[in-house]
Structure 1
Amino acid sequence: MIRIKGVTKSYPLAGMARHTVIRDLTLEIPSRTHVGIIGRNGTGKTTLLRLLGGIELPDRGTVEADGSISPPLGLTSGFAQKISGRDNAKFICRISGDDPATARERVAFIRDYAELGEFFDLPVETYSSGMRARLAFSISMSFDYDYYLIDELTAVGDQKFRAKAQASFAQKRGTASVLMVSHNLDQLQRDCQVGLYLRGGQVKYYEDIGQAIADYKMDQHAQ
């Protein structure tokens, strides 16, 4: 269970003004459940993932979890651009506390899963967005988290990679939670069970992802 208690997050604008993205949010997210997160651009979907992953701190309120949470993984993942995919993977293993043997095994898994070929040993700055997505997703799958935060990650890449990602999600079902931001509503309907709909600084929880999607579509047609 992830418990969000009275969380508000804002960002400074010009002068003394601030833009509030999430306001007074209190919410419980169940464990071992795949969660689809939807909302228009700018409503705070990525901000919510960054708060859950501890990348950013709220202005006020707390986020508590009963298990380990991955960093948010997406196209903007913070890779060191000048070094190779392999060296990025090694660095993440090192800061995660892997001993040398574990790190070697994990890097081998990442190399095989990502299927980057010779690019695994080339600088990340030479990668396409799909290749960065493969590397980020592969690193995530190499660790056993209780909660995986995915930000528009599986919307890119070829059909084979997407099929592999879906198979990984299926393996995690029942043992871990996936919290997924995506504009691909068909993907959310297929891969998720419950929904979070962000609108106007608020987040509404749905027991059925299908109802969350239906309400989102209705709001889009009404505007």
Structure 2
Amino acid sequence: MIALERVSKSYRTDGRPKTVLDDVSAVFESGLSYGLLGVNGAGKSTTLRLIAGIELPNAGRVRRSRRVSWPLGFAGGFHPQMTGQENIHFVARVYGEDPRRIARFVQEFAELGDYLRNPVKTYSSGMMARLAFGLSMAIEFDVYLIDEITAVGDARFQARCAAAFDARRSTADLIVVSHSMQTIAKYCDRGALIVEGQLLTYPDVGLAIAAYLRLNR
């Protein structure tokens, strides 16, 4: 279970305050996958980062009784001066995993070869995405957070990504942000809609999609 308890989050943009969540309480139940919806700028990605613990709320708290991933494909946590290999070892230790096993998995999956010995600041966006996705798949989580994943690499690599993702989601829950309602309907059981700082939850993902479409006319 993931619970938001009276969570508030705001920040300043263009010199003006922007409220993402305003005293929100909500529960993401175990055994279910959720689609997180909202118009552009509503705060979907920020909410995922709050759930992941990458960002902290201004008030309230987020409770997690299960092992939650960072947003899938998120590369913002890599240290640019460290090599790919060093970043892999660091993340593995943070999550209590065997660094050598994780490194072998990422090396085989991401297919970055000798680039893993180079600082990640030298990586292209595609290489960074390969590293981030491979590392996301190397560590097993109870809940995977997915923020509008885009296709990475050629068709063969994309097929490997899809197969790895399907294997993980067979034993884990998902919280998915996507502008594709087809993707939301395919992967999610329930929905949550961010509207003007509030998080509205729906017992059926179809109801959440219908509410989002009405809002986004």
* SS of equivalent to 1:93: helix
Gaps of 5+ in 1: none
Larger displacement relative to structure 2 (158-167 or 54-63) = 158-167
- TM score, norm. by length of structure 1: 0.83
Q: CA deviation at 1:45?
A: 0.9
Aligned pairs, number: 216
Tell me what 2:87 maps to: 88
Which residue does 2:10 correspond to in 1?
A: 10
SS in 2 for 1:31: coil
1:107 to 91, 96, 103: 103
Which residue is equivalent to 1:151?
A: 147
1:78 equivalent in structure 2:
77
Residues 140 and 168, structure 2, Cα contact 8 Å, conserved in 1: no
In the TM superposition, residue 123 of structure 1 has moved relative to its aligned partner by: 2.9
Give the Cα separation in 2 of the matches to 1:190 and 1:13.
34
- 1:114 to partner: Cα distance: 1.5
Which residue matches 1:191?
Answer: 187
Q: CA deviation at 1:28?
A: 0.9
Quote the offset at 1:13 in angstroms: 5.7
- Contact 2:106–2:135 (8 Å) recurs in 1: yes
Query: Do 1:75 and 1:132's aligned partners in 2 also have CA atoms closer than 8 Å?
Result: no
Structure 1 segments of 4+ aligned residues over 4 angstroms from their partners = none
Question: Percent identity of the aligned residues?
Answer: 40
Matches within 5 A, 1:149-188: 149-152=145-148, 154-158=149-153, 159-173=155-169, 175-188=171-184
Aligned-pair CA distance for 1:51:
1.2
Residue type of the partner of 1:177? D
Aligned-partner residue type, residue 59 of structure 1: N
Aligned pair in 2 of structure 1 residues 165, 213: CA closer, same or farther (>3 Å)?
Answer: farther
Residue in structure 1 matching 2:115, options 116, 119, 126? 119
Unaligned 5+ residue runs, structure 2?
A: none
Q: 1:155 to 1:193 in 2, by over 3 A?
A: farther
Report the Cα offset of residue 76 of structure 1.
4.7
Give yes or no for contact 2:73–2:136 (8 Å, CA) kept in 1.
no
Q: Conserved in 2, the CA contact under 8 Å of 1:31 and 1:176?
A: no
What amino acid maps onto 1:121 in structure 2? Answer: R
Name the Cα RMSD after superposition: 2.4
Q: Distance in 1 between matches of 2:33 and 2:161?
A: 14
Cα distance 1:167–1:205, how it changes in 2: closer, same or farther (>3 A)? Answer: farther
Instruction: Confirm or deny: 8 A CA contact 2:93 2:99 kept in the other structure.
Output: yes
Residue 75 and residue 53 in structure 1: after superposition, are their counterparts in 2 closer, same or farther (change >3 A)? closer
* Contact residue 32 and residue 173 of structure 1 kept, 8 A: no
Cα shift readout 1:4-54 (whole Å, capped 9, x = no counterpart): 121111114677x63211112111101132222222222111111121112
Instruction: Return the alpha-carbon distance in structure 1 between the equivalents of residues 6 and 182 of structure 2.
Output: 32
Residues in 2 aligned to 1:156 and 1:128: alpha-carbon distance in whole angstroms = 15
Give the equivalent residue in structure 2 for 1:64.
63
Q: Which residue of 2 aligns with 1:31?
A: 30
